[in-house]
Amino acid sequence: MKVYVRAPMSEIRLQELKELFEEVVYDPWNKTGERFYEKEMLAALKKVQPDILITELDRITEAVLSGYEGLKVIGDCRANPANIDVAACSAHGIPVLCTPARNATAVAEMLVGMLIAYMRNLLPATAWIKDGQWKEGTTPYYTWMGNELHGKHVGFVGFGAVGKAAAHLLDAFGCSIRFYDPYVKDTPYTKCELQELFATCDIISIHLPVLPETEKLISRELLYTMKQDAIFVNTARSAVVDMEALQDMAKEKRIKGILLDVLASEPPLPDDLSIIENGNVLLTPHICGATYEVTDHQSDIITERLKAWKKQEQLERIVYNYRSLKKTL
C-alpha cells in the first residue's frame, strides 16, 4: 500500500511507516505553510494515487472522496477531525483515525503560562521598560504588583485530556480544581454544575469540542454570573462561546481578564480583533498547541493506530467513525 503523508512526522516514525508499507510519499503542509483545500487536495490525490492519507489541515470533502476513490483509510493528526467530512468518509466506507491528546501537554503548559503572564502583568511591565519608563523615582514593585495562582479556584468546562493535564499542573501551584463534564466521573477533583462553576470560580477555563450540543454553551447568562475579579480563558474553540457577549464583557470590563487563543474567524476579521482594544484581554494567535514535541506525539499516535488498523485490531477504540462503519469493517 502507498501512504501519502501531508502532516509533519518525526524521522523515526516516518522510517517506521516506510518499513510497514510499500511506498511513502512525504509532503507535509509545513514545507510551504499552506494547507490544501478541496481543489488542491483532489489534484494531489489523483497525482499521488495513495491508499492511505495522513493529513492534519487539508480539507477532505465529499467532492474530494467522490473524485478520488482509492483511499482505504485516513489518518488525521488532530484530536477531532474538524478538517474532514466524517459523514462522507463513512458513506464511502473509509475509516478515520485521529490523534487524541497529541497536544494536551502543550496546551496545558501554555494555559498556565498565559495565566501567570496576565496575573503578574508581564507584558505591560516589559513594555513599560522598553518605553523608557523605568526611571529614578518610579516604583515598579508597586506599579506592577499582581496576583498569585496559589489558592485560586479554577473551574474547567470540559475535562478531557487537556483539562486533566492543566489541572495536574495547576494542582501543583496550590489551586483548588473544579470541573464540569457530564461524561467524566472518576477523578480526585470536585465535579460541579455549570452554573455553580461560573458563579464561584476565580478562573474559568474552556476545554470543549465543537458539537451541536456545545455550540454557544457558554452563554451570555453564564458569562455574566462570573465574579468581577474572575478570569475567563478559552484555548479550545470560539464556537462554544457567545462571542458577542464576551465582546460586551470586555468593553464593560465586567471581569478582571479575558485570555483567548481562538477567535471566530482565523485569520481574524476587524470585528474579531476589536476585543483586544480593551486593556483586559490577552490574545494569542491559536498557538497553544504549537510545540515541536506535538509533532512527535502525533507521529507516535498515528503510526501506532495505523499499525493496529493494518492488523484489524482495536478498531472500536481507534476508528473515529467506527459506529457508522461497523457493518463494513
Active site residues: 237, 266, 286
Contacts of 171 (CB under 8 A, 6+ apart): 177
**How far is it, in rounded angstroms, from Cα 227 to Cα 92?**
50
Q: In this structure, are residues 97 and 72 in contact, taking their beta carbons and an 8 Å threshold?
A: no
Helix (H) or strand (E) holding 154: strand 153-157
Q: In this structure, are residues 9 and 31 in contact, taking their beta carbons and an 8 Å threshold?
A: no
**How far is it, in rounded angstroms, from Cα 213 to Cα 233?**
20
**How far is it, in rounded angstroms, from Cα 233 to Cα 119?**
12
Question: β-pairing, 153-157 with 203-206?
Answer: parallel
**How far is it, in rounded angstroms, from Cα 4 to Cα 74?**
10
**How far is it, in rounded angstroms, from Cα 232 to Cα 222?**
12
The three three-digit cell numbers of residue 324, written as one number: 457508522
**How far is it, in rounded angstroms, from Cα 94 to Cα 265?**
30
Q: What is the DSSP string of 230-272?
A: -EEEE-S-GGGB-HHHHHHHHHHT-SSEEEES--SSSSPPHHH
